[in-house]
Amino acid sequence: MGYLPILENANKNLVREIFHKCLRYLLELIILLENGVNLFINNKKIWFYPRVPTILADWPEATSYCLVYKSTNSNISCHFCLVKKNDLANINLSSSDMRLRSHNEMRNYFENKTQNSVCIESVPNFFWNFP
Ligand SMILES: [Zn+2]
């Protein structure tokens, strides 16, 4: 358990970078313990491996974790998928029109400097390296 800083009056990209660096600091042990760890509890050795099963967040917090543009005016504002703003209420979309955001795909947009086309910030996302 840890606290995440909320910086005020700072450059927004700096705020995002620090947020994701703090996440890395808090969670990198999970990556390092990829093969698990043995714990001795009541003189019994128990093997386990730590994971983050879910993160509860409201929409603004989810945009911080996913580094999706925070504006509701953004053309692709959903942190789950790449459905355009004008199609979010379209019930006639086919499943092929509803592409999900994946770590690899978002990382590719970032590395190819085309992150603007999928409305993500120009900051590397810690979760792209998460198992
Ligand atoms: Zn969506």
**Per the domain annotation, does 131 fall within a domain?**
no
* pTM confidence score: 0.79
**Domain housing 16:** 7-52
Q: Within this chain, do residues 43 and 95 fall inside the same structural domain, yes or no?
A: no
Q: Tens digits of per-residue pLDDT, 55-78?
A: 889 999 999 999 999 998 999 999
Between the CA of 87 and the centroid of ligand 1 the distance, in Å, is 10
pLDDT of residue 62: 93
Which positions of the chain have pLDDT values less than 50?
none
Q: Would you mind telling me the total number of residues written for the chain in this entry?
A: 131
Are residues 68 and 16 both part of a single domain? no
Tokens of 104: 């690899």
* pLDDT at residue number 129: 80
Instruction: Tell me the CA–centroid distance for residue 60 and ligand 1, in Å.
Output: 14
Q: How far is the CA of 83 from the centre of ligand 1 (A)?
A: 6
Query: 60 with 117, same domain?
Result: yes
- Specify whether 122 is located in the same domain as 60: yes
Q: How confident is the model at residue 30, as a pLDDT?
A: 83
As for how many domains the chain has, the answer is: 2
- For residue 86, which of 57, 77, 115, 5 has the smallest C-alpha distance? 77
Q: Are 106 and 116 in contact (CB under 8 A)?
A: no
| Same domain, yes or no: 73 and 121 | yes
